Amino acid sequence: MPQQYVASDSTTGLHVQVTGEFPEDPDDRVRIARTTNLFTRLMATVLSTTNDTERRERFRAIETQLEVADALIRGDLVEVQRLIRDTLHAMGISDDQLREVEQQLREQLRAIGGDGLAGMLGLDGQGPDEQPDLDAPEGPDRPRLDDPN
C-alpha cells in the first residue's frame, strides 16, 4: 500500500504531496520528509514572487539545479559539466574566463590532493574545448551517456 508525505506552506497555501512505496529505514524517511519540505519551501518562495520576470528566473534556477542533482545522482558527469557551463554562460561568463578559472582550480587541486582529485572532478586536462562532442556517433572516443562505465 502506498504511503504519503505532505508538506505545506502556510503563507502561500501550497501543498506538496509525495506518494509511493517508501523504504522502512527511518533515515530514509527523514530524507524524504526533509527533501519534500525543502522543495515546498523553494516553490513557495518562487510562487510568492510578484515580479513575473524574477519569478521565471527563479523557476529556471531551481529547474537547473534539480537537473544538475539528477545528473550527479546518475553519474553523468558530461551532463553535469554541460549544465554548469550553460548556467555560467547565461550569467555572462565567457569560455575564456571558464578556462582561466578551470586552470586555477586544477592547479589548486593538484597542490592539495594530487592529480587524482583533479581527475575525479574531470579537471585532468580536459578543458572546455576538449569535451566530448555530444553530436558525434557513439564509439571508443565517445561513451554512451547511459553507460555506467
Chunk the chain into consecutive blocks of 10 residues (it has 149) and report each block's average pLDDT, rounded to whole numbers.
92 94 94 95 95 95 94 95 91 91 85 67 52 46 43
List Cα–Cα distances, 25 to 12, 31, 70, in angstroms: 32, 10, 22
Phi, psi of 48 (to 5 degrees): -85, 0
Find residue 16's DSSP bridge partners: 7
Q: What is the pLDDT of residues 13-44, one digit of tens each?
A: 999 999 999 999 999 999 999 999 999 999 99
Domain boundaries, the chain: 1-48, 50-93, 95-149
Task: Classify residue 128 by its DSSP letter.
Answer: G
Find residue 3's DSSP bridge partners: 20
